């Protein structure tokens, strides 16, 4: 992004929506939200598909596990990688791989080749891609805006994720009911193209001369672990997150099976899943500066 785009509004007072004055951030934020909508549609379709392939609590809950386990395993290595390599290239490669994996899964479902374990493997691969993309996305935001708008931009980034979590599941459930189970997987693959085009459109500003040697991967991992251990605010945040998600994830994992066996069809499942995102959007709007 050209430096003039940042400097033009740097003196204006920061507000909740001021980051949207930055064209690069607005384009990337929009592409990210659209891609996240596709990802949530994929997640809803995967959970619902498993209820027909292997309708047991263990197999259905493994879909959620396959989605989140890569984040647990790869978050720290992915964060270290985003600190030592070109984040734009990381996002381009990961987005392309995610598009191909989602398209392949959609093809397997369309042709009737998918089995419970094939579905879990594809879901794990998509989760791994998300794990590698998330730190790079978060790290790229400060490069797009002046420092006084960073808090608003981070909050808007979280709101965007939750907007997609409110729209994607509801839309996915509706599409499953009207167009078939394979369609959300195909739309998920297409949604990654917007991110790829946005990243190709954005030309990063030239960086200054490096005065120190590049950090090594293992050193970056150790630094991240040390910071997490020594930073009390971060440590407290992690403890609260674990306390919440340990129990909340059980709701997300078993929801498709409960809806299918007790409550209704995919539309209701999508709407119930979307309620999580709607509540998060309300919370994010409440804390906007």
Residue 81 falls inside a structural domain: yes
CA distance 66 to 266: 21
Averaged over 257-271, what is the pLDDT? Answer: 84
Q: Which residues contact 27 (CB under 8 A, 6 or more apart)?
A: 198, 201, 202
pLDDT of residue 16: 65
**pLDDT at 286 > cutoff 80:** no
**pLDDT at 284 > cutoff 70:** no
Q: 119 vs 63, 105, 112, 186, 226, CA distance in Å?
A: 8, 8, 12, 14, 37
Residue 9 falls inside a structural domain: no
Largest Cα–Cα separation, the chain? 63
Asked if 41 and 171 count as a contact pair (C-beta separation under 8 A), the reply is yes
Averaged over 148-153, what is the pLDDT? Answer: 70
pLDDT of residue 102: 93
143 or 185, which is more confident: 185
130 or 207, which is more confident: 130
Residue 106 falls inside a structural domain: yes
Could you say which DSSP state residue 212 is in? Answer: S
Q: 238 vs 152, 155, 225, 243, CA distance in Å?
A: 22, 18, 12, 9
pLDDT digits (tens, 9 = 90+) for 100-120: 999 999 999 999 899 999 999
pLDDT digits (tens, 9 = 90+) for 153-190: 677 777 778 788 888 888 989 999 899 999 999 999 99
Residue 53 falls inside a structural domain: yes
Of 32-36, 52-56, 141-145, 252-256, minimum mean pLDDT range: 141-145
**pLDDT at 123 > cutoff 90:** yes
CA distance 285 to 179: 33
Band the pLDDT of 223: cuts 50, 70, 90: low
Tokens of 236: 């407290």
Residue 228 falls inside a structural domain: yes
Tokens of 94: 């990961």
User: What b/e string do you get for 166-188 counting C-beta neighbours within 10 Å, with b at 16 or more?
Assistant: bbbbbbbbbbbbeeebbbbbbbb
270 or 185, which is more confident: 185
Q: Domain with 184 in it: what CATH number?
A: 1.20.1250.20
Asked if 107 and 167 count as a contact pair (C-beta separation under 8 A), the reply is no
Band the pLDDT of 194: cuts 50, 70, 90: confident
pLDDT of residue 156: 74
Domain containing 231 equals 22-204+217-287
216 or 178, which is more confident: 178
**pLDDT at 224 > cutoff 80:** no
Band the pLDDT of 203: cuts 50, 70, 90: low
Of 166-170, 242-246, 270-274, minimum mean pLDDT range: 242-246
For residue 70, count CB atoms less than 10 angstroms from its CB and return exposed for 0-12, middle for 13-18, buried for 19 or more. Answer: buried
Domain count, the chain: 1
Asked if 119 and 50 count as a contact pair (C-beta separation under 8 A), the reply is yes
- The long-range contacts involving 239-247, CB below 8 angstroms and separated by at least 24 positions, are none
Residue 231 falls inside a structural domain: yes
* Cα distance from N-terminal residue to C-terminal residue, the chain: 25
Asked if 83 and 220 count as a contact pair (C-beta separation under 8 A), the reply is yes
150 or 70, which is more confident: 70
Residue 187 falls inside a structural domain: yes
CA distance 141 to 20: 12
pTM of the model: 0.79
Averaged over 57-78, what is the pLDDT? Answer: 85
Residue 279 falls inside a structural domain: yes
CA distance 217 to 215: 7
Band the pLDDT of 79: cuts 50, 70, 90: confident
Band the pLDDT of 26: cuts 50, 70, 90: confident
**pLDDT at 7 > cutoff 50:** no
Tokens of 129: 């891609």
């Amino acid at each position: 992004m050209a430096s003039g785009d940042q400097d033009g509004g740097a003196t204006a007072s920061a507000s909740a929506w001021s980051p949207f004055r930055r064209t690069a951030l607005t384009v990337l934020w929009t592409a990210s939200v659209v891609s996240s909508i596709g990802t949530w549609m994929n997640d809803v379709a995967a959970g619902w598909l498993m209820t027909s392939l292997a309708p047991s609590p263990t197999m259905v809950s493994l879909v959620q596990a396959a989605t989140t386990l890569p984040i647990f395993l790869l978050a720290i290595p992915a964060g270290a990688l985003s600190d030592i390599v070109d984040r734009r290239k990381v996002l381009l490669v990961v987005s392309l791989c995610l598009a191909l994996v989602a398209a392949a899964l959609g093809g397997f479902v369309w042709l009737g080749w998918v089995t419970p374990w094939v579905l879990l493997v594809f879901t794990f691969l998509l989760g791994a891609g998300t794990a590698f993309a998330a730190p790079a996305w978060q790290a790229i935001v400060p490069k797009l805006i002046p420092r006084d708008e960073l808090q608003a931009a981070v909050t808007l980034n979280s709101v965007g994720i939750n907007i997609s979590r409110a729209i994607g599941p509801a839309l996915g459930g509706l599409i499953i009911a009207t167009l078939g189970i394979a369609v959300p997987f195909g739309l998920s693959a297409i949604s990654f193209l917007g991110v790829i085009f946005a990243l190709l459109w954005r030309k990063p500003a030239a960086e200054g001369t490096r005065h120190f040697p590049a950090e090594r991967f293992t050193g970056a991992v150790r630094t991240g672990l040390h910071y997490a251990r020594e930073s009390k605010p971060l440590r407290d945040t992690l403890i609260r997150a674990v306390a919440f998600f340990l129990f909340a994830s059980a709701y997300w994992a078993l929801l498709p099976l409960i809806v299918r066996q007790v409550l209704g069809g995919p539309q209701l499942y999508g709407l119930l899943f979307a309620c999580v995102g709607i509540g998060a959007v309300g919370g994010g709007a409440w804390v906007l500066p």
